[in-house]
Structure 1
Amino acid sequence: MGIKKSIMENMERLNFWKRKNVLVTGGNGLVGSHIVEELLKSNANVIVLIRSKNPKSYFVIEGLNKKTVLVYGDLKNFKRVYDVISKYEIEYIFHIGAQPIVQTAVINPVETFETNINGTVNVLESARLCNSVKGIVVASSDKAYGKYDKLPYTEETPLKGEFPYDISKSCTDLIAQSYFKTYDIPIAIARFGNIYGPGDLNFNRIIPGAIKASLLDETLDIRSDGKMIREYLYVKDVADGYLMLCENINKSKGEAFNLSSGLKLSVLEVVEKISEIINKKIDYEVLNLAKNEIYEQYLSTEKVEKFFGWHTKHSFEESIKETVKWYEKILK
């Protein structure tokens, strides 16, 4: 029964995306690359808007750049965004492009606000002006909620980020809601926790950092006190969640959905688990330097389960093993 259901779901996905014109902003990043990969499997016409090329990215290493229409442009440039959506008669948009790094946002808040907030306005306004667009999924984050003592966060939890990155995602989320409510544009919002997997080149993040330290026999620097608790979600589950929301846009439009794994771990627990999976001790040093970060966050996925029966498909152990294989290719 499980196999039959999986085959049916794959056929439905193929039928939905076949020959559709799909724009993925930030399509050469961690999440964007895996969305592109899934769309290509379903024979979509994929247009990728990026600011610059990274030869070490999953997007390039896995050859996705050779199978897509690659367009260069800055999300802050409204005319460029509009021209891309208009020229390629885009039907569906995954707005993933952003400045995604918390500490970079602290150092350069203006660039973060302009990219994440104005960039979202430019994408949604361009979509409003182009009659071809049938559905949009906008990337939000668990950081959009800000800090609350009551956990887990549900979709009804008010959005009140405090620090630059968090605020930028709160605004992104609210702007998407405004465009749906004001203009009835079919928009769904995806709120995720910490994402990991093949293609993450930010080695300041705990999972890529721990794997890199293990492969190169380095000491891992832990910026926090090691006790911060987060949920960790495999990037292939993330891509599946994005496609699922867009495939069901008539039901998901106007709604925000938490998508998460339910796996809650402290930073030190993550290091310990990776060490167990790869059967190698990882040396680390706790620096306790992290500022402007929320101590504990995790999400309720009751809504997305109720609406669509969605849940993750990959275990942490299986996902880490696949992720390690990818890093072995690029680091050794």
Structure 2
Amino acid sequence: MLIYLMPCGVLKTLNGECGMMWKNKNVLVTGGMGLVGGHLVERLVELEANVVVTKIINDPHSYFNRKTLGDKVIVADCDLKNEQQVKDVITKCEIEIIFHLGAQALVPVAYHNPRETIETNIMGTVNILETARNYPGVKAIVFASSDKAYGISDKLPYYETHELKGQHPYDVSKSAADLICTAYFKTYDVPVVTTRFGNIYGPGDLNFNRIVPGAIKSGLNGEPLEIRSDGKMIRDYVYVKDVVSGYLTLAENIEKTKGEAFNVSSGVTLNVLDMVNHVSEVMDNEIKVNILNNAKNEIPEQYLDYSKISNLLNWSPKYKLADALKETIDWYKEVI
């Protein structure tokens, strides 16, 4: 789908009629060149939305680039920490729906650079919300929070009613941004819905410090996998295509979902070593591990209950772990 920006700022498409609810909707995806963003942008293009993506450092091997999505969307130079740039993109492109995925999302990076993490994750969110507060064209915002926003809890799984009590830089940045979204809805009626996910994996994740891409790379290259933790940390793993489905479902039902938070999960809860074993089985290749046990600011055990979105919107994950891992591994075989 070829998209161009009219002088008046209105997005137009050059493709035929589609008849779907996303057709010709002006949609902004912050973080659209990342793992989840790339898959979300791909799906929105398929649905014939007019997509604007905020530009970040762009890896030529990313899912976004390998799918040549840059030829099908508008890529806007926009620093989310710059309020005027955010305002310009939203107003000039007459954005109607925002998926706010743009963030510094790596816990180790947050440990070494807390200020950048806090400024990006909190003020980037504030700038989106503040523009939407003053621009009536925005009809829906889906904010990507995280299970890290809950912090450490002795009561699991996490429900949306759990207190948000992050303790470390990344966790706190998500807790704060999450609460700020609630404040903008309750105070200004900004139509924002918050999503809280676990560990997302799938084709396109080039952060090899993460367990799934790291394990696949080690298996393909015959190298030991370095595990930062003790290997016993329990996480909730969810496939990227199920995440995209969750985002779209929440946006499509914004009148029911605005002002609320929703856990989106696969129900797959594994410790790190178990996930490595699953990757190894699907690859039919032994993966040797080297336990470093030097992880900092990590929560020992996290997993989510997703009954709220299931009961309200009839959403559920579609991908089984083995099938999702096979799709993921096949993608890395072409890249590594």
TM-score by shorter chain over 0.5: yes
Which residue does the alignment assign to 1:50?
55
Which residue does the alignment assign to 2:144?
139
Indicate whether 1:196 and 2:206 are aligned: no
Which residue does the alignment assign to 1:25?
30
Which residue does the alignment assign to 1:158?
163
Asked if the contact 1:26–1:48 (Cα under 8 Å) also holds between the matched residues in 2, the reply is yes
Indicate whether 1:260 and 2:265 are aligned: yes
Indicate whether 1:175 and 2:180 are aligned: yes
Indicate whether 1:88 and 2:118 are aligned: no
Indicate whether 1:121 and 2:104 are aligned: no
Amino acid at match of 2:35: L
Q: Distance in 1 between matches of 2:136 and 2:155?
A: 42
Q: Distance in 2 between matches of 1:214 and 1:53?
A: 26
Indicate whether 1:281 and 2:286 are aligned: yes
- 2:333 corresponds, among 324, 328, 332, to 328
Q: CA deviation at 1:301?
A: 0.8
Matches within 5 A, 1:96-115: 96-115=101-120
Structure 1 gaps of 5+ residues are 1-12
Structure number with the higher helix fraction is 1
Q: CA deviation at 1:14?
A: 6.1
Note closer, same or farther for the CA distance 1:14–1:249 as it changes in structure 2 (3 Å cut): farther
Q: Distance in 2 between matches of 1:40 and 1:14?
A: 14
Which residue does the alignment assign to 2:318?
313
Q: Distance in 2 between matches of 1:314 and 1:195?
A: 13
Note closer, same or farther for the CA distance 1:275–1:90 as it changes in structure 2 (3 Å cut): same
Asked if the contact 2:201–2:212 (Cα under 8 Å) also holds between the matched residues in 1, the reply is yes
Amino acid at match of 2:40: I
2:231 match: secondary structure: coil
Indicate whether 1:249 and 2:259 are aligned: no
Asked if the contact 2:31–2:102 (Cα under 8 Å) also holds between the matched residues in 1, the reply is yes
Q: Distance in 1 between matches of 2:57 and 2:279?
A: 32
Query: What's the CA shift string for 1:90-112, capped at 9, x where partnerless?
Result: 00000000000001001000000
Amino acid at match of 1:311: S
Q: Distance in 2 between matches of 1:51 and 1:190?
A: 22
Asked if the contact 1:99–1:115 (Cα under 8 Å) also holds between the matched residues in 2, the reply is yes
Q: Distance in 2 between matches of 1:291 and 1:203?
A: 17
Note closer, same or farther for the CA distance 1:200–1:14 as it changes in structure 2 (3 Å cut): farther
Asked if the contact 2:211–2:272 (Cα under 8 Å) also holds between the matched residues in 1, the reply is yes
Q: CA deviation at 1:55?
A: 1.3
Asked if the contact 1:14–1:43 (Cα under 8 Å) also holds between the matched residues in 2, the reply is no
- 2:211 corresponds, among 206, 211, 223, to 206
Q: CA deviation at 1:53?
A: 2.2
Asked if the contact 1:195–1:235 (Cα under 8 Å) also holds between the matched residues in 2, the reply is yes
TM-score under structure 2 normalisation? 0.94
2:124 match: secondary structure: helix
Q: Distance in 1 between matches of 2:167 and 2:222?
A: 37
Amino acid at match of 2:79: D
Query: What's the CA shift string for 1:311-332, capped at 9, x where partnerless?
Result: 101111011111011111111x
Which residue does the alignment assign to 2:220?
215
Q: Distance in 1 between matches of 2:277 and 2:133?
A: 48
Query: What's the CA shift string for 1:4-52, capped at 9, x where partnerless?
Result: xxxxxxxxx9621000000000100001111101111100000001233
Q: Distance in 2 between matches of 1:15 and 1:128?
A: 27
Amino acid at match of 1:199: G
Give structure 1 regions of 4+ aligned residues with deviation exceeding 6 angstroms.
none
Q: Distance in 2 between matches of 1:271 and 1:156?
A: 32
TM-score under structure 1 normalisation? 0.95
Which residue does the alignment assign to 2:11?
none
1:321 match: secondary structure: helix
- 1:237 corresponds, among 233, 242, 245, to 242
- 1:39 corresponds, among 41, 44, 49, to 44
Q: Distance in 2 between matches of 1:170 and 1:254?
A: 15
